[in-house]
Structure formats: structure tokens, C-alpha cells
Amino acid sequence: MPQTVLMITPGYPGEMPLFTRGLSEQGATVLGVANGPAHELPELAKRHLADYLQVPDLFTDTPSAIAQLRRWLGARTLDRVCCLWEPGIEVAAQIREALGVPGQSYEQAIRFRNKDLMKQALAEGGVRVPHHAVASSAAEVWAAAEQVGYPLIIKPIAGAGSQDTFRCDDAADVTRALAQLGHIATVDVEEFIDGEEYTFDTICANGAIEYFHIGFYRPRPLVARTNEWISPQTLSYKHVDDPRLAGGRAMGARVLEVLGYERGYTHMEWYLKSDGEAVFGEVAARPPGARTVDLMNFASDVDLFRGWAEAELFGTFSLDIERKYNAACITKRAHGQGRIQRIEGLDRIKARCGDAICAIDLLPVGAPRRDWKSTLLSDGYVTLRHPDWQTTMDLADFVGTDLHLYAG
């Protein structure tokens, strides 16, 4: 029997219309809800929605939002409530509980959103987490810094990615961080882990990992977020059985077991220290962003938007995963400010990378440059793939150094 699914924010961020499409193509009747008007939805999302409700206070007044949803749904019943955008994870859980829909509960959702509760639960479950403390005032930040020691990281307790995250090597750095964190009520002050930064991403069904992916950040997001000249890279590993990664894989499985994750996407970040120790970073009940699901698809020539939808709807996963390629997404930041004036090096990129290129999505000439601090994809990106790991990195570095956008 066809299922009816409520998709929260079916048109935003950029990958959400693809997940909406996945649900529809798996036979679901997809109802959309977001805080914006229907005419702003991308065409792909519109095409795969059976109905849509605008709720302006969806993320600011959950009881009111639920009341509006009840009136709109009428006699219709929901089989699933889906949200793959970080700010909506708790709202989705509250809607499930209010309407009696199965899926992640609010208590479970909180442990994925609140980094302190998350780390407490995982530490009790035997997972190596960074030493940390929660702070809600400048005085508490200073006390936490004394407890944790330098170097340390200060970041929002319910944030996503590395935005509003600061590395502090001494008291002067803490002072500077506090000056920029006035808009955030509660932060996590944690041990800085010196190591390479990886991901462990999964699709789960009935409490089991049906698909997993390991990614690698070059450089670490915190470095990329604080140096405008860098062209950040996210790479997807073909050789997931590499013994170096075994600790991260085992830790990822344990994290989901401790947190009781049942069905859907997850995205975990973890660190590999020089001595081989794997250390937990954080985990979210959503897919990775910045077109990383595209990398997973390119690496195996599959459609994980549909694969996720199958797991979400039916608790099964039937895609045949053959890891054929390493893949990379290289994001570009324009030189200068204003509108894009010219793009240089694209012909050289196409000539050298050839068939390795999967996608090129750069801002066109005349478009206003984006704020590089508030978007992961910056002013555009190139994705590529190759079966050899070193070649993949070499091609990614070539895009990073030889492709330039200029604004003025």
C-alpha cells in the first residue's frame, strides 16, 4: 500500500529536492512543509510533491506549527516524517510524537543535536570522545578552558559543520572567540584533537547499517573555514577496507548502536591521530552536505537518493554497491568582492581531467559572489573521480591551484 510521507523543507538545502524525488520514485505520496511560499520551491521539488503547506513559524513555534499541520492534513494520515536538514531534526521528532508517526523520538533527536548529551552517552558507551565542558557564559568558558587545557575548540552545542567554531591556543584566542560568540547561548569547549579528519556516513534500516561511506577532508574544515584562499576538498574513499580506517569504522558502528539509530541517513566526523587512535568528533541524524551524496553516487554509479528512500519507507536496501572510484568535490572561492568578472583555467582543467570530471557548477560571469563564510559550496565546485587514490588527489589539487574565479 502506498505510504504518505511528510517531507520537511523539501526544497532546501540544495540536495533536498533530490531526496524528495527519491521518496516519490519509491512510490510514496510526498507532502511538503516549510516556512517559505510554494512558488519559491525548486521545480524538481514541486514535481514530486502531492501537496505543500507553508508554515512561517515552523522552526520558531512548534506547537502552533503542529496545530496548522493537523488542520491541513485533515483525514490524511502519515506513515513517515522525514527531515534531512540539521535545524529541523528536533522539529521532525516533535511532529512524529504529536501525530503518532513512527521514527526517531524527540529524546533520541536531542542526543544527536546536543553535543554535550551526545558525548556523555557515547563516553558511557565506551567511545573515545574529546575531553569537553559546556559553557553558557564567558566565566564558564574560562573555567572550561582551565579544565580542558590548550589547545581547545569552542563551538555551538547544537551547531552543524564548522561554522562559529574556533580553535584557541591560548587565552588571547579565547578572548577573540568570545567577542564573536555573543549570539550563541551555549557552547561546547573541547579538547583539540590533532589529526586527519574523516567522515563515516551511513544509511540504516531496522537498526542495521546497510550502506556506509568514508570521506576525507583536505584540509580540516576548521582550517578551510579560516583561510579564504583555500579551495576545500571533500574526498570519497574507494578502499574502505584500508586497515588505517578500521578504528573509525568500528567506532562509527558503536556510535549508532549506543545512540539507538534505527532508520535513515547519518553523518559522523572523526579524527585519526598520528599514533593510529580514532577519536570521535560528532554525529548527525542526516546526510553529509556540500554535495557529498553526489560523491557517493559517482563512486559507485548508483542513486542513493532512491536508496535512502527505500530504507526510510520499507526498512530495506537493495542497491548493489560496487566501489569503483575515489571521488572528490573541490569548492572554489572567487578572488575579490562583488560580481564574477571572469573565470580562468577551466579549459586547462577540462583538458587534463577529461573523463574524470563528473560535474562543474560555477557561478556564471555577472553573478554576485557568495559569502564564503556562510556557504560550504562557496562560489561553485568541481567534482571528479578516478580509480587510483593518488591520481584523484593530484587532479583535485590541480583544480584547486589552476582554476580561478575573479570578482570585482
Q: Where are the domains positioned within the chain?
A: 4-103, 131-191, 194-322, 325-408
Count of alpha carbons within 13 angstroms of residue 306, beta-carbon side:
11
pLDDT range class, residue 139, cuts 50, 70, 90: confident
Is the CB of residue 240 less than 8 Å from the CB of residue 214? Answer: yes
> Quick one: average pLDDT of 298-323?
97
Q: Which residue has the cell 511560499?
A: 37
User: What angle, rounded to 10 degrees, do the helices at 246-259 and 115-124 form?
Assistant: 100
Position 8 scores a pLDDT of 97
How far, in Å, CA of 24 to CA of 39, rounded? 20
Q: Write out the E strands in 12-69.
A: 29-34, 51-54
Higher pLDDT, 395 or 1: 395
- pLDDT tens digits along 211-223: 999 999 999 888 8
Position 95 scores a pLDDT of 97
Q: Which residue has the cell 570530471?
A: 357
**131-191 and 194-322 have identical folds:** no
Is the CB of residue 122 less than 8 Å from the CB of residue 255? Answer: yes
Position 258 scores a pLDDT of 95
Position 162 scores a pLDDT of 54
pLDDT at 41 > cutoff 80: yes
pLDDT at 243 > cutoff 60: yes
Exposed, middle or buried, 271 (CB in 10 Å: 0-12/13-18/19+)? Answer: buried
One-letter amino acid at 157 equals: I
CATH of domain 4-103: 3.40.50.20
Q: Is the preceding omega at residue 2 within 30 degrees of 0, hence cis?
A: no
- pLDDT tens digits along 284-296: 999 998 899 999 9
Position 316 scores a pLDDT of 96
pLDDT at 161 > cutoff 70: no
Reference 154, options 128, 132, 182; nearest CA is 132
> Quick one: average pLDDT of 231-247?
96
pLDDT > 90 fraction of the chain, expressed in percent and rounded: 78
Is the CB of residue 79 less than 8 Å from the CB of residue 31? Answer: no
Does 3.30.470.20 match the CATH number of domain 325-408? yes
What is the residue-averaged pLDDT of the chain?
93
Position 247 scores a pLDDT of 96
> Quick one: average pLDDT of 194-213?
96
One-letter amino acid at 225 equals: R
How far, in Å, CA of 382 to CA of 369, rounded? 17
pLDDT at 188 > cutoff 90: no
> Quick one: average pLDDT of 30-59?
96
Does 3.30.470.20 match the CATH number of domain 194-322? yes
Right CATH for 131-191 from 3.40.50.300, 3.40.30.10, 3.40.190.10, 3.30.1490.20: 3.30.1490.20
User: What's the pTM value of the predicted model, to 2 decimals?
Assistant: 0.89
Position 375 scores a pLDDT of 83
> Quick one: average pLDDT of 229-240?
96
Strands 4-8 and 80-82: parallel
> Quick one: average pLDDT of 118-145?
90
- pLDDT tens digits along 261-280: 999 999 999 999 999 999 99
pLDDT at 160 > cutoff 60: no
Cβ neighbours of residue 176 closer than 8 Å, sequence gap 6 or more: 166
